Amino acid sequence: MANIMLCSCIVFFVALCSDVMANPHCKGVKGAYYPSWAFSTFPPSSIDTSLFTHIYYAFLVPNNTTFKFDIDDETSKLLFNFTSTLRSSVKTLFSVGGGGEGPARFSRMASTSVSRLSFIKSSIEVARKYRFDGFDLDWEFPQNKKDMENFAILLDEWRVEVKKESLATKRPQLLITAAVYFSVDFFLWGEFRSYPVPSINKNLDWINLMFYDYRGSWDTSATGAQAALFDTKSNVSTSYGLSTWIKAGALRSKLIMGLPLYGRTWKLKDPNVDGIGAPAVGVGPGDEGTLTYREIEKFNEENNAKVVYDSATVSAYSVAGTSWIGFDDTNSVAMKLHYAQSQRLRGYFFWAVAGDKDWKISTTAKQSWIIS
């Protein structure tokens, strides 16, 4: 039985590899974001580059009025340190924006051709000056239909300029990627709006699907799996989000599965009622109820926590007294990556690389990714 299953798997993956061969860009992407604010404790040289293909420097933000990147001396040093340390082993990109930045600046930048061109030209200059292989737009999030239209135009113009620059300099085109919401549609809050899939397919090398932050400190009434693969009771899950992208026509070869190297915590109402969805009264340990995987391992060990794998959501949680932590462990990551491959996705990425413990999760991920 095991042999038969193995055989069908191999046949399946060989068939896939012919797709991969037809498309030189089809090689599996194993990405991770690098949190630049962790430089002093986690310099770029601490990354085990054998586990990754692409590392994103997080973050740069353009000037609020000129939409150019004003890079101060300290940042300049970090950028050079980042690329000179990593670029011989992996591709490097710089990510623009981030969850802490908010949407307003990008909305204004994308709204006129002058501001878009200023941003685009500056992004190319920065990439070449600091020897990056490309850039990643992390606009969290376009707020309305107009923003989505402008997002599409921005991507069109960005690709045009990147092509022009490549022709003029005879260098490979810079990569353009974006970090996006878990679902193609924003159906939970604000104006209903959808990402411009045709422009994404045409202009971006790939998109990083942020398959996490489904539950957290903003709702302390019950515990939850912040990166559930499946949820029978709601549409806030990775399998649902992915299905919306595919249904909307996103090319599977452009889709990268996001995985969190952090978890989210709650304070249980009753330490004896501790499953997923158990009543809670507040956040648990960590800054605003978040802990990196490394911190979770430490917490679990020091507090002799009970650790449970939940196959329904494909996630793990740990409990010690009233402290409850939901996170991804090696099992959930392996399962998710089997799922990603069965869905013929291009690869995966982590937020964020400094959160791993002894490279346990990243190693499991690499070993689980069988396609090229």
Ligand X SMILES: *[C@@H]1O[C@H](CO)[C@@H](O)[C@H](O)[C@H]1NC(C)=O
Smaller CB separation from ligand X, 8 or 64: 64
Smaller CB separation from ligand X, 8 or 65: 65
Smaller CB separation from ligand X, 18 or 65: 65
Kindly give, in sequence order, each residue whose CB lies less than 8 Å from that of residue 147, ignoring residues fewer than 6 positions away: 103, 106, 107, 110, 193
Selecting among 74, 125, 140, 165, the annotated active-site residue is 140
With binding defined as CB under 6 A, does residue 64 bind ligand X?
Answer: yes
With binding defined as CB under 6 A, does residue 84 bind ligand X?
Answer: yes
74 as an active site residue: the answer is no
With binding defined as CB under 6 A, does residue 363 bind ligand X?
Answer: no
With binding defined as CB under 6 A, does residue 53 bind ligand X?
Answer: no
With binding defined as CB under 6 A, does residue 85 bind ligand X?
Answer: yes
Q: Please check whether residue 194 is in contact with residue 248, taking contact to mean a CB–CB distance below 8 angstroms.
A: yes
For the CA atoms of 220, 243, 136, 78, the dihedral, rounded to the nearest 10 degrees, stands at 50
Count of residues in contact with ligand X, rule CB under 6 A: 12
CB of 108 to ligand X, least distance (A): 7
With binding defined as CB under 6 A, does residue 76 bind ligand X?
Answer: no
- Distance from C-alpha of 157 to C-alpha of 163, rounded to nearest angstrom: 10
Helix ranges (H only) for the chain are 2-22, 73-86, 104-109, 113-129, 145-169, 197-203, 238-247, 293-302, 330-342, 360-368
Smaller CB separation from ligand X, 169 or 234: 234
Residue choice 66, 112, 342, 367 for contact with ligand X (CB under 6 A): 66
CB of 84 to ligand X, least distance (A): 4
With binding defined as CB under 6 A, does residue 235 bind ligand X?
Answer: yes
Q: Where are the beta strands (DSSP E) in 237-289?
A: 255-260, 262-268, 280-282
- Distance from C-alpha of 340 to C-alpha of 342, rounded to nearest angstrom: 6
What are the structure tokens assigned to 333, written together? 């990551």
With binding defined as CB under 6 A, does residue 234 bind ligand X?
Answer: yes
CB of 121 to ligand X, least distance (A): 15
83 dihedral zone (left: phi>0; alpha: psi -120 to 50; beta): alpha
- Distance from C-alpha of 367 to C-alpha of 372, rounded to nearest angstrom: 11
With binding defined as CB under 6 A, does residue 112 bind ligand X?
Answer: no
What SS3 class is residue 190?
coil
Residue choice 43, 99, 103, 277 for contact with ligand X (CB under 6 A): 43
Kindly give, in sequence order, each residue whose CB lies less than 8 Å from that of residue 260, ignoring residues fewer than 6 positions away: 212, 213, 226, 227, 327, 328, 350, 351
CB of 85 to ligand X, least distance (A): 5
Which is nearest to 299 in space by CA: 278, 280, 284? 284
Residue choice 17, 46, 50, 70 for contact with ligand X (CB under 6 A): 70
CB of 150 to ligand X, least distance (A): 16
With binding defined as CB under 6 A, does residue 89 bind ligand X?
Answer: no
Residue choice 81, 220, 343, 368 for contact with ligand X (CB under 6 A): 81
CB of 32 to ligand X, least distance (A): 18
**β-sheet bridge partners, residue 206:** 177
Q: Please check whether residue 248 is in contact with residue 197, taking contact to mean a CB–CB distance below 8 angstroms.
A: yes
Question: Catalytic residue numbers?
Answer: 140
- Contacts with ligand X, residue ranges (CB under 6 A): 43, 45, 63-66, 70, 81, 84-85, 234-235
